[in-house]
Structure 1
């Protein structure tokens, strides 16, 4: 009987590991395709805006170089409309900062939208969140709770780990797979424009890696050039 229980435990463990591995390896949409009617060139444009949010809000080379842009692709033809940006700061990640910024923009009585809190929540279902690195489980969950139409990231968690970053090894795809009870659906597109996002996370733990444009090495770190 003890042997049967041990075998059952091993079988359940194998099933758990296999399930987690399968979820982690689920393929993402090819980022070069036109998805939801938005071509890759437009996706690349807004990912660059997410990168630019670092310079606009903090520095071209902050240590935590996580930038975000939230976009309305339903506002008509063309690239779409930028609603707000966010960047990593003390006490707030890029994604959370952008969500908070957008809520303030959407509900401001003197702003262009002047929505109620409830209307702002509904508006997220029409918006796309671009972030230059894959979100941690906390931020991926916040994106799902907010109910965005799309979530597009650049550098993957796996790449961040390879570059020396401490990360919780839970992919956004796994968070999304576990959020099927939520009423709103969010389309996930990963590893978009990584040739431009990866360098923002490659210099922090590699003293020989070049600093981002506009920055130089000072005491082993990268700092904005004066």
Structure 2
């Protein structure tokens, strides 16, 4: 559902009891569902969350194409600058095919890009390495699909204030994607020893993120906007 959200605050002092689990593969956890899209989470209204999740989808077109096979896009946002929607710091998209680097998932690419932007001596921030590390505690990472355990762990190590995802790992698996069956919430549950708190907000705007991952293993599913079927795959329409 487009408006199904849950959140979890990760701190050193919070202990989780048994709760919901996915397919029996994930550690039991407690989640607090938020049913109303009008509710603000961390003071950020749903409309703003939706804007940035759409921007994570758009990162694909900006960096790769409107229909890459690995359609994982990410944006990193500063919601503390007081400018309403917030400030876009950097974007990233799955870059494995272009680089041959199997770790360059969308989230990892975005973190790499943000680090370069934050520490660029000629850029808008000009932070030291230490200041850049501290800056992540004020930033929110939006990604159009739930992070794999590598990326979810990187998000926690970076100390992001928030991590917001769209399509769930469970949905990806159901639609044919090979995934490591560890939910982000389990990574958060097991990272309470870290000093930085972080909030996890899941399944945001899934009616718009899911279609980016439904055509790859279903030849009858329509291609994303701006793309067409070519030899069983979706390719960008040339103008």
Q: Give the TM-score taking structure 2 as reference length.
A: 0.84
- 2:7 is aligned to none
CA distance, structure 1, for counterparts of residue 50 and residue 203 of structure 2: 11
Q: Structure 1 residues 163, 19: closer, same or farther in 2, change over 3 A?
A: closer
Alpha-carbon shift at residue 89 of structure 1 (Å): 1.1
- 1:51 is aligned to 57
Number of residue pairs matched by the alignment:
210
Greater RCO (CA < 8 Å, at least 6 residues apart): 2
- 1:169 is aligned to 181
- 1:102 is aligned to 114
- Structure of greater Rg: 1
CA distance, structure 1, for counterparts of residue 80 and residue 34 of structure 2: 22
Unaligned 5+ runs, structure 2? 1-17
On the 8 A contact 1:157/1:167 being kept in 2, the answer is yes
Q: Give the TM-score taking structure 1 as reference length.
A: 0.89
- Over the aligned positions, Cα root-mean-square deviation in angstroms equals 1.7
- 2:94 is aligned to 88
On the 8 A contact 1:137/1:175 being kept in 2, the answer is yes
- 1:14 is aligned to none
Quick one: which of 180, 184, 202 aligns to 1:190? 202
Alpha-carbon shift at residue 96 of structure 1 (Å): 0.2
Residues 145-165 of structure 1 deviation map (CA, whole Å, 9 limit, x = unaligned): 000000000000000001100
3-state SS of paired residue (2:132): helix
CA distance, structure 2, for counterparts of residue 37 and residue 73 of structure 1: 10
Structure number with higher helix proportion = 1
CA distance, structure 1, for counterparts of residue 113 and residue 19 of structure 2: 40
On the 8 A contact 2:219/2:232 being kept in 1, the answer is yes
